[in-house]
Amino acid sequence: MPRAGLTPGAIVDLALGVLDDDGLTGLTLTAVAKRAGVAVPALYKHIRNLDELVSLLRVRIIDDLTERLGADCVGRSGPDALRALAVTFRAYAMDNPHRYALTVQAAPPNTREAEAAVRTLTVFLAVLRGFGLEGSAAIHAARALRSACHGFASIQVAGGFGLAEDVDESYDLLVRMVIEGLPLARELAG
């Protein structure tokens, strides 16, 4: 008989707490079971294994990031929308470094993770349409934009910016450089 109140969603909630506190290396079924106040076998009534739990976590985290990106980009277009997307993307990575780390790897095809990733891509593509980018040119631009935001945020999370210059000014410069470089993506479609 499954423990009352223990569901796949509740297990994901508990696992998010473990992830936030202990990182991916600390995420074990034992740690999640301890937070739930149950033995590990009780989790198996709701999830198959740690891989399934990580998959469920990835879907939840990607959807959360996508929701935030979409909310901050609504009603904006062009450079304003791209800035909002970039700022939100970086803020999510900075505020949730362990969660963000689960968003980086490409999702396996034909999975709920892949469906979640497509929803994120849809936000990126909507922003890039404001620059007249469609099709493969938009995909190339989305990759470049994601790479720029990810690279900066990853270096910042790791403490890699040690000089005195303001990091926010550096990020603003990066975003401006991306905006000014977007016409190059149209050349790819040419």
CB 142 within 8 A of CB 135: no
Q: Which pLDDT score, from 0 to 100, does residue 1 have?
A: 40
Task: Tell me: pLDDT of 189 over 80.
Answer: no
CB 139 within 8 A of CB 180: no
pLDDT tens sequence across 7-41: 999 999 999 999 999 999 999 999 999 999 999 99
Q: How confident is the model at residue 4 (pLDDT cuts 50, 70, 90)?
A: low
CB 119 within 8 A of CB 62: yes
In angstroms, the CA 91 to CA 153 distance is 8
- The number of residues in the chain equals 190
- Tell me the fold of 54-189: Tetracycline Repressor; domain 2 (1.10.357)
Q: Domain locations in the chain?
A: 1-47, 54-189
Q: Which residues contact 124 (CB under 8 A, 6 or more apart)?
A: 69, 85, 142, 145, 146
pLDDT tens sequence across 43-90: 999 999 999 999 999 999 999 999 999 999 999 999 999 999 999 999
Two domains, one topology: 1-47 and 54-189: no
Q: How confident is the model at residue 3 (pLDDT cuts 50, 70, 90)?
A: low
The token duo for 189 is 């479609």
The reply to whether CATH 1.10.1740.10 applies to domain 1-47 is: no
pLDDT tens sequence across 109-137: 999 999 999 999 999 999 999 999 999 99
